[in-house]
Structure 1
Amino acid sequence: MKKILIMASAGFCISMFAPTTSQAGYEIFDPSVSSCTGLNCSSIVMGGTVLNAVGLSTARWEAAVYANPGECLRVDETAMFGSGADDEIVVVGPNGTVWRNDDFTGLRPRVAFIAPQRGWYYVTIARFNGAPAPEHDFYLAYGRYIGTGNPNCASPTPGFAPAQAAKVPGGAGQAAPRNTPTGQ
């Protein structure tokens, strides 16, 4: 009995610290899909911080947001607080498509597009040029909207397809980047 209890305790401890596919606290889900037409209406607004305590880091903030195909997905940095803050938003879709924006409104970025597929879209906020970022706070609005004609998706951010494997005679193919907008 004592051996079973020890083994059960060990199994529990291992399961508590074992890596999993879940990213608790990382995925942000907006349960509403709105038809409202005001900018950022019905969005989830959250505060975030780009941390850079040592001043030498290419600090960034990351999260994952959800969308279904055909929905307008809008991620908008509505305010920045901190000296020297100048951000860029990069969103990577479930299929590898990349959307990025810097300075949509002043120095604040905004990414908006019609989601091509169901899933989690990974959002990164960092300094626009990749240089060490000053530590700063921001507000981010994330919303899901119905239809392609919604003003929240006016001036959509162009998406770029992921690299595709190039076939080379003889089988020595390597990935070749494709910088063609997906049209989504």
Structure 2
Amino acid sequence: MAVKLKKLGLLLFCTMAMSEAVQAQNCRLSVSQPTVDYGVIRNEPLTHSPTLVLGTRMLHLSVLCMEPATIALRFVGAADGQGFRFGRQGHFRLTLKQAQVDGHAVEWAPVQLAGEPVGGQLLPGQVLSTRAVGKRLTAQVQIDTELPSDALQVRSHAVLEGRGRFELVSPTAPLSR
């Protein structure tokens, strides 16, 4: 994600950069858009909230495997306390929704913790698994991005961005740093 801020009619331009396609073992992961563009946002004096919500964006994620596999993935990006870092002060959160393996609905489960489904929220350092074996995974990726309102107070152009990539992993793969 990138943001450009400008004095006098302050503009905000946001994008999120993600890997378009990733290959792991016998599977290939792809996202429908490698970049999420939040467009131009002007700093309006009408903002009374301490937080500026940039809005929800949706991407389509798919994994295609040559042989049936348990599909697990993670998102690697700069972490903050509430998700992944966006600029110096903001953050974005990723939620995987409507997941299906070979056309059947599945729930996500964290690989590190034994047990309960997590509803698809992809947290820093976390691997999510479908816990189902199949050749094709499809899911929607919901991206929610927030900035503190004072992040818009700049004197010239400024670029804010959040970057990261999805990785396919085997459930026992160590976390990359």
TM-score range, shorter chain: 0.3 to 0.5
Higher strand share: 2
Normalised TM-score (structure 2): 0.44
Structure of higher CA gyration radius: 1
Normalised TM-score (structure 1): 0.42
Greater RCO (Cα-Cα under 8 Å, separation 6 or more)? 2
